[in-house]
Structure 1
Amino acid sequence: MDKLMKILHTSDWHLGQYFMMKTRESEHLHFLNWLIEVVNKQQIDALIVAGDIFDSASPPSYARKLYSDFIVRLQKSSCRQLIIMAGNHDSIAVLNENKDLLKALDVSVLAGLSDDLNEHIIELKDDRQNTQALVCALPFLRAADVMRSVQGSSAADKQISLQQGIADTYQSIFELANAQCHEKALPIIATGHLTAVGCSVSDSVREIYIGTLTAFPAVLFPAFNYIALGHLHRAQKVQKTDHIRYCGSPIALSFDETRQQKNINIIEFDTNNALTVNETVIPVFQRMQVISGDLESVIEQLQELKKELAGESAWIEVKLKQAFYLSDVHALLNEQVQESQIEILKISSPTINEKNQYQAADKSTLDNLTPADLFQHRLQIEDSYSDQQREQLTKLFAEVCSEVEHKS
């Protein structure tokens, strides 16, 4: 009996990310080392990375080295094919730099949408070079790739046009893949880097279609046998379907992800193309934790954590339920973690306005504000604009942000 092909689905590595001025280099190195171990232990045949290899369009040199070193090490493993898709954080130019060279190593890099969708259909072959599956390897689809801008279109018209453009792209490539199957019923896998309707989003996920499409309905996907999604950092099924899944990011990219279990997905098909998905838990390489309560409770929790960790590293967010001036409480809390590897990276508490009345909102700092937040704040303190002008300016700013975001 032929050995079933094993395909590993991972995404959202965000190599090069800095988290509140802390580098993630060590965590990413540990993850990639662990991933190589899994590939060898599980005898993985093909590996799919569904976007956001890097955290920015201009990744630091160490992040590029992590990426290239991983590819070199993968050549010595059981994995015969590596398929890499660009995400919304990735630069098409950066990923394409070594595309032709990597092709010689059976590494397929899909950084941008080609005019010929056949270039996005990758054959997965066994050790006897027999095709066992097809991958419709689509990267992050930029609005300019799938829709034409019509002057005077409303926001609703643009949303419908973008949604239809994405749906048409998936339908077209599905039909091409089906035609390539001929009489043999091969499993067809698709990739995507987008937000699907009904899925859970964390703080570190950036909106990708600003001002237009917020989420893509899963019912518009054709009948692929498995859809390997990236962009959302929480591992989850889409609309409770077994075959449409996010594997999530390998490490927590924001404090609200610290309670999430991080996974990779290992998928197999039997001779009847029945799907099996095994979620493999990724170890935690850097302890991150949120501590909340009143000041007395927080101090007690920090002391307990200090004993528990016994010299191990931890990054902490403190959420105080009392109102304090942060400059006063910061020194007090840092005293509690002296002579330990615990670092308090963020403290929030209800703010105090000029009338000394407590407010419910957390204190805002530049590290937790988006450009849209700052723009709205600036707009609110201007009293010379009408509501209609504010609405128009907000829309124009969103379009500028989207253009800058997708220019890479």
Structure 2
Amino acid sequence: MNQKLPPLKLLHTSDWHIGRTLYGRKRYQEFAAFLHWLAQTIEEEKVDVLLVAGDIFDTNTPSNRAQELYYQFLCRVAVSCCRHVVVIGGNHDSPSFLNAPKALLKTLNVYVVGSSTQSLEDEVLMLCNEQGAPELIVCAVPYLRDRDIRIAEAGESIEDKERKLIEGIRNHYATVGALAEHKREKLGRDIPIVGMGHLFSAGGQTVDGDGVRELYVGSLAHVTAGIFPVCFDYLALGHLHVPQKVGGFETMRYSGSPLPMGFGEAKQQKSVCLVEFHSTAASVQLINVPVFQRLEHIKGDWEAISNRLFELATTNAQGWLEVIYDGSEIIGNLRERLESAISNTQMEILRIKNNRIIDRVLGQAEEETLDDLNVHDVFKRCLAVYEVPEDQRVELLQAYQEIVLSLYEDDVQAQ
């Protein structure tokens, strides 16, 4: 295994969430701008392989416009210097929708693994260079649904479920890793093995409002870096929207989402991972993604808010704003003041939240809406309203989480 190969360049991205809205605003222009920039980056960096680690779409029933953006991008990349594209399904994606055109896309060297396959050999891809010689092995493991990796049994405890989920994920990766190593050994020379996945790693960083769902009941199966096979020369993960390493390892990474999913990510620098292989040694460089739609989170008393709005106005700033008022003064006309402050500017306020409890009591502030709550918050509020005893709430919440998870994982496109 001493034969040297020319450097191989991979680009790792994930969590596009095409079709996602922000407080009712459609964001197709942002998605189109990002995909155009990504295609240009692939050409400028002379990328050989593109890896997309799940959550291509925001829902399992993507709109026609979302689909158009996706397929136009794949067609553009297919005629570029990029020899291969590997796409895995995420927890937001419909496996059947992603898989439907996979045979057609394969003719363009676009490989799609929307869901766990019956034969795990189908998740181990041998990719070849322009001369037809193998240059890379990709273990394209999609989001593993609960039913893919464990058998539910009556009377299971939370600990039993966690153990089975971790074992299921570990066994799945161990199997595909062994298959990849076997393929490499048969070649008789070193080529890189890259793992892919869409899951939640232990210690992973999230931010408020990023829309990252817990993948398993009770926030279980936050896997550690040690669960992945040592044969992986690089691990490309999706699901977490903050760019980060796994367990501090340079070659185990979340690329993060390329667009901020909410105002909590407004100041976060988004990036994609450019990975260069010399034989099986990988080096990683982050390429910053431009800001296509500015988001601004403003929080404070009226003086702090008005000063910041004035600063933005004097610089002719464009953007969407979220304003959180937490001053001591009771302001009954907060929205009117804010709208007046941004009149004749190119800014738009998408969300106003007044943290003054007294204002809520007096009915003078913005009412709390469902946009401020997730499905688990709503259920907990119901339990409180109906005065369900505390000793019953844990079991009811667990049952509710299982129902919600089954709804998320139900592939409505399969019918």
Give the TM bin, normalised by the shorter chain: over 0.9
- SS in structure 1 opposite 2:405? helix
More displaced 10-residue stretch of structure 1: 130-139 or 363-372? 363-372
1:368 and 2:372 correspond: yes
Displacement, 1:328? Answer: 2.0
Instruction: Identify the residue that residue 184 of structure 1 maps to in structure 2.
Output: 189
Instruction: Identify the residue that residue 224 of structure 2 maps to in structure 1.
Output: 217
Displacement, 1:115? Answer: 1.3
When the two chains are superposed, the root-mean-square deviation of aligned CA atoms in Å is: 1.8
Work out which of the residue numbers 9, 14, 27 in structure 2 matches 1:11.
Answer: 14
CA contact (8 A) 2:326 2:356 kept: no
- CA 1:354/1:325 → structure 2, altered by over 3 Å: closer, same or farther? closer
- The code of the aligned residue for 2:8 comes to M
Instruction: Identify the residue that residue 33 of structure 1 maps to in structure 2.
Output: 36
Instruction: Identify the residue that residue 297 of structure 2 maps to in structure 1.
Output: 290
Instruction: Identify the residue that residue 266 of structure 1 maps to in structure 2.
Output: 274
Instruction: Identify the residue that residue 137 of structure 1 maps to in structure 2.
Output: 140
CA contact (8 A) 1:317 1:346 kept: yes
Work out which of the residue numbers 257, 264, 270 in structure 1 matches 2:265.
Answer: 257
Instruction: Identify the residue that residue 342 of structure 2 maps to in structure 1.
Output: 337
CA contact (8 A) 2:310 2:341 kept: yes
1:121 and 2:124 correspond: yes
Displacement, 1:391? Answer: 2.3
- SS in structure 2 opposite 1:211? helix
CA contact (8 A) 1:156 1:212 kept: no
Work out which of the residue numbers 287, 291, 310 in structure 2 matches 1:303.
Answer: 310
More displaced 10-residue stretch of structure 1: 287-296 or 81-90? 287-296
CA distance in 2, matches of 1:198, 1:167: 18
- CA 1:326/1:253 → structure 2, altered by over 3 Å: closer, same or farther? farther
| TM-score normalized with structure 2 length | 0.93
Displacement, 1:321? Answer: 2.0
Displacement, 1:324? Answer: 6.8
Higher relative contact order (CA 8 A, sep 6+): 2
CA distance in 1, matches of 2:217, 2:327: 35
- The code of the aligned residue for 1:306 comes to A
- The code of the aligned residue for 2:405 comes to S
Displacement, 1:330? Answer: 1.0
1:314 and 2:319 correspond: yes
Instruction: Identify the residue that residue 229 of structure 1 maps to in structure 2.
Output: 237
| Aligned sequence identity (%) | 35
- CA 1:259/1:354 → structure 2, altered by over 3 Å: closer, same or farther? closer
1:379 and 2:386 correspond: no
Equivalent pairs counted in the alignment come to 400
CA contact (8 A) 1:50 1:85 kept: yes
Please give the residue correspondences for 1:53-72 in structure 2 after superposition, counting only pairs within 5 Å.
53-72=56-75
Instruction: Identify the residue that residue 109 of structure 1 maps to in structure 2.
Output: 112
- The code of the aligned residue for 1:127 comes to E
Q: Output one character per residue of 1:207-246: Cα deviation in whole Å (capped at 9) or x when no partner.
A: 1113251511111111111110000001011111001100
CA distance in 1, matches of 2:80, 2:360: 65
CA contact (8 A) 2:143 2:197 kept: yes
CA distance in 2, matches of 1:230, 1:284: 20
More displaced 10-residue stretch of structure 1: 212-221 or 104-113? 212-221
CA distance in 1, matches of 2:97, 2:121: 23
CA contact (8 A) 1:207 1:214 kept: no
| TM-score normalized with structure 1 length | 0.94
Q: Give 5+ residue unaligned stretches, structure 1.
A: none
CA contact (8 A) 1:292 1:318 kept: yes
Work out which of the residue numbers 171, 176, 182 in structure 2 matches 1:173.
Answer: 176
- SS in structure 2 opposite 1:164? helix
- SS in structure 1 opposite 2:218? coil
CA distance in 2, matches of 1:327, 1:192: 49
Displacement, 1:265? Answer: 0.6
Instruction: Identify the residue that residue 160 of structure 1 maps to in structure 2.
Output: 163
CA distance in 2, matches of 1:53, 1:132: 26
CA distance in 1, matches of 2:394, 2:243: 36
Displacement, 1:326? Answer: 7.6
More displaced 10-residue stretch of structure 1: 132-141 or 203-212? 203-212
Work out which of the residue numbers 27, 47, 52 in structure 2 matches 1:49.
Answer: 52
CA distance in 2, matches of 1:397, 1:356: 31
- CA 1:44/1:209 → structure 2, altered by over 3 Å: closer, same or farther? same
Q: Give 5+ residue unaligned stretches, structure 2.
A: none
CA distance in 2, matches of 1:280, 1:76: 22
1:405 and 2:408 correspond: yes
CA distance in 2, matches of 1:26, 1:199: 30
- CA 1:181/1:326 → structure 2, altered by over 3 Å: closer, same or farther? farther
CA contact (8 A) 2:17 2:55 kept: yes
- The code of the aligned residue for 1:313 comes to Q
CA distance in 1, matches of 2:360, 2:339: 29
CA distance in 1, matches of 2:286, 2:360: 53
1:239 and 2:244 correspond: no
CA contact (8 A) 2:244 2:255 kept: yes
Displacement, 1:365? Answer: 2.2
Q: Output one character per residue of 1:287-335: Cα deviation in whole Å (capped at 9) or x when no partner.
A: 1111122101211110110111x2x520111122225778620111111
